[in-house]
Structure formats: C-alpha cells, structure tokens
Amino acid sequence: MNAAMYDHIMVRFGELSTKGKNKKDFIFRLGDNIRNALKEFNGLTYNVRMDHIYINLNGLDPTPIVERLKDVSGIYSFSLVLKTNTDIENLKSLTLDILNKENKKTFKMRAKRADKLYPIISDDINRQIASHVLKNSSYKVDVHNPDVLVSITIREDAAYIFTEDIMGAGGYPLGVGGKAIMMMSGGIDSPVASYLLMKRGVALECVHFAAPPYTNAAVIDKIKDLCKELNRYQAKIKVHIVPFTKLQENIYKYSNESYAITIMRRMMYRISERLADKYKCLAIANGESVGQVASQTLASMKVINDVTTMPIIRPVAIFDKTEIIKIAKKIKTYDISIRPYEDCCTIFAPKNPKTAPGLEEVLAFEKKWDFESDIEECVKNVETIVVTSDLEDKDKNYL
Ligand code: ATP
Ligand code: MG
C-alpha cells in the first residue's frame, strides 16, 4: 500500500450490540480515546460520526499513526482513505492513479453507495471504473484473489477510496465498562490480565502489596515499567502501593505456616475491596489462573473469595501459562515481568501450602489477633503513584 496517496483514516466500530444512548456513549468515548492515543501527532483533526470516525491527516505521515491506532480498544478495523468528490470521471482517474502507484498485476472493484440518491448503481460504478483501468493500464481483473481490492464508498458529501482494511484491537472503548482495581504483582499474569480487561472497556487502578525490607524497592520500578507498557491502552494508570510488612509478619506469627498464603490472600482481598470502594471501582481483578499454584485451586479460591461480595474478575483464569506468555510477549510486558525480583508471595512461600484449606481453621487463626487494625493501617498508609504515557511527566513526584 502506498500510504502517501491517502489523506484520511476511516475507523470502523464493527457490529455494535448496543443501540441508542449506549451506542452514542461508545462512539464518543472511542473518539476521545483515539484523540488521546494520538495526541502527540499535532495537526490531526477528527470527525466523529455515528457510522465511522474520520481522522484528517492534514498532511501528516500515517505510518506511526496506524501503529498507535492498532492498540486502541473498541476499533474493529480501519483504513487509510482518499477523500474526494463523487464525480465518476474523477473516481476513474484516481483509481487508475492508485493502481499505478501500487504497481501490481490484478485488481477488483468494490463500490458501495451509502448515498442511495447517487445516480449510478454500485454494479455500474464498478463496471465503468474497471473498464477505464483495463483500457489504460496492464492490470487484469481477478474477482477471486485480486492483488489490489479497490473499495469506494459514496456518501452524500464525498467519496472515499481505499485498498486495505487494517484490523484493530477489537473489544470496547476503555472506560465504557466502568473501573476495576487490579492486583498487580510484577509477575507475568497480572499485566496480561490488565490488558485483557482494558480491552473489554474496563479502566483500571492498580494495587500492589509491598513488604519491605523483605521485598526489594526494585519491584516498584518494575511495576512502573509494566504500567508504562499498559499506557498504550490506558494513558494514565494509578498504582496504590500498600505497606504490607506488619500485616504479613502478623500472619506468620499467628497462623500455621501451611495456612499463611490463604490468609495472606484473604487480607489482600480485604484491602483491595476497601480501596475499590474508596476509589469507586466496581470489581477486583487479578492474574489468578485455575490450578496454577496451591492458592489458585478452586477449593482455595472459594475460601479466599469468602471475604468479599465484590465481583472478582480473573481474565486469565482458564489460560495455560504458555498462552499467557504469548500475550505477554505481544503486549511487551514479558521481558519486564521476568526480571528477577522478590515478591511478598515468593519470600514467604511455605513448603506445604494448603491446596484445600478449611474455612473453620482459617477463621480460627484470624481470630488470634486484631487484623482489622492492621488493615486500617495499610489502607491509611497507601502511597499512590501515577504512571502516564507523557514522557515529560516521567520524573514528576505524584505522592
Ligand atoms: P503473576 O500471577 O502476575 O505472574 P505471580 O504468579 O507471582 O505473578 P501469583 O502468586 O500467581 O502471582 O498471584 C496471583 C495473583 O495475585 C497475581 O496475578 C496478582 O494479581 C495477585 N498478586 C500476587 N502478589 C501480589 C502483590 N504483591 N501485589 C498485588 N497483587 C498480587
Ligand atoms: Mg500467577
């Protein structure tokens, strides 16, 4: 494709299952998200309509813009288009120009009359333009497997010519699905879970449980770097860092080692729920995957989940590790995730964690100390950092 030929980008939403006001919200939100994703490209202008969103390139090189657009959720597909007048002679000569610049051998025409008042029916538009091309070039028609498929959409105000559909990220525009709090560990799974949920339109705030001096401050840099990659999907991500040391020490002091992970995760859920309420998040999300480790058997999940009635979303619950890794590589979080680090889970990992912990036993251990006041302290002393895609914000202190 010869990108220089084109002056606009046409963005398609695909089949929306929503109608009326929801459809409008979807499209306007997508328009805002696209503007945000492309804000570094000064000079672009936008026309947000109910059928498509048009981006006027105003002379800018579309190549880097196309790459950015591929990451915006809610876009079904998009095309570089040439916007022009609907006069058939004009369409004939522009199509010939485009095909000459493509420099291929076979083509096919695909015209669509969105303006039903246009005097020539689609079949005749195709025929007239094709015969002009055949007469004036060495191109041949191939209806089954053309080298170039020339699409022309005719609307009341203009015609749009394009030769390629580029697939978008799919899903829903970020934000239409409300907001959830993501438990972000710095491992492989939680960034992938974040991406999958963002693609469903859910915006995220993150919570990270840090247990210095047992855990290294480098973990925080790792989380920041992971969020920087996730900034491609959500431009601004808040990370709430919970000082977890005292609570964790008490867990090990008052409970049997084999129950420590179960109780620790119950505490994480309790704190996440508090933070979710505080920051208006409607659900808790994490990177748990069924059966991956002792705390992620269904029996464990049930006992851990018991502390909250808030929905828990586990986007990677049914994926194999190899599938999760594949996505992690695609979204560029993998290399960051595998940097060596000590997580509060790994440091305190018991030799024989329970795969089927009993709720009675768990409750008995939890009665031994006033964990509520430890939780209060954790919530009170949360430190929040904001990770944004703006390079100039990199060194700002948000605390
Ligand atoms: P990941 O699952 O992200 O690869 P992991 O395998 O080290 O990291 P697990 O022990 O499997 O983490 O924990 C399961 C999930 O619990 C994580 O995906 C994450 O959502 C959450 N989690 C674990 N540790 C922490 C932590 N220190 N802070 C916040 N969330 C955590
Ligand atoms: Mg995991």
d(CA 69, CA 166): 10
Q: How high does pLDDT run on average in the chain?
A: 92
**Centroid of ligand 1 to alpha carbon of 73 (angstroms):** 25
Ligand with an atom nearest the CA of residue 347: 1
- Averaged pLDDT, 119-142: 97
d(CA 304, CA 285): 14
Residue 129 has what pLDDT?
98
Backbone angles phi, psi at 241, to 5 degrees: -100, 120
- Matching residue, tokens 């851990």: 304
More confidently predicted of 398 and 324: 324
Say what percent of the chain tops pLDDT 90: 82
- Averaged pLDDT, 33-55: 94
**Centroid of ligand 2 to alpha carbon of 292 (angstroms):** 7
d(CA 317, CA 314): 5
Res 345 pLDDT > 70: no
**Nearest CA among 107, 105, 103 for reference residue 152:** 107
Identify the band that residue 399 occupies on the pLDDT scale cut at 50, 70 and 90. Answer: very low
pLDDT in tens, 98-107: 999 999 999 9
Residue 398 has what pLDDT?
33
Which tokens go with 228?
A: 């920087």
Res 244 pLDDT > 90: yes
| Pocket test residue of 189, 208, 344 for ligand 1, highest count of atoms within 8 A of CB | 189
- Cβ(185) – ligand 1 distance below 6 Å: yes
> What are the angstrom distances between the C-alpha of 170 and each of 11, 167, 293?
12, 8, 31
Residue type, 213: P
Res 286 pLDDT > 70: yes
pLDDT in tens, 153-174: 999 999 999 999 999 999 999 9
- Cβ(274) – ligand 1 distance below 6 Å: no
Residue 147 has what pLDDT?
97
Residue 271 has what pLDDT?
98
Q: How many CB atoms lie within 10 A of CB 148?
A: 20
Q: Is 77 helix (H, G, I), strand (E, B) or coil?
A: strand
- Cβ(209) – ligand 1 distance below 6 Å: yes
More confidently predicted of 389 and 288: 288
Asked whether 244 and 252 are in contact (CB, 8 A), the reply is: no
- Cβ(324) – ligand 1 distance below 6 Å: no
Residue 317 has what pLDDT?
96
Q: Is the peptide bond before 357 cis (omega within 30 degrees of 0)?
A: no
d(CA 45, CA 163): 22
Residue 294 has what pLDDT?
76
- Matching residue, tokens 């091309």: 133
- Averaged pLDDT, 46-51: 93
**Nearest CA among 62, 58, 36, 48 for reference residue 11:** 48
Alpha-carbon torsion, ordered 223, 226, 231, 236, to 10 deg:
0
Ligand with an atom nearest the CA of residue 188: 1
d(CA 65, CA 296): 41
Q: What is the pTM of this model?
A: 0.88
Q: Is 238 exposed, middle or buried (0-12, 13-18, 19+ CB in 10 A)?
A: middle
pLDDT in tens, 301-336: 999 999 999 999 999 999 999 999 999 999 999 999
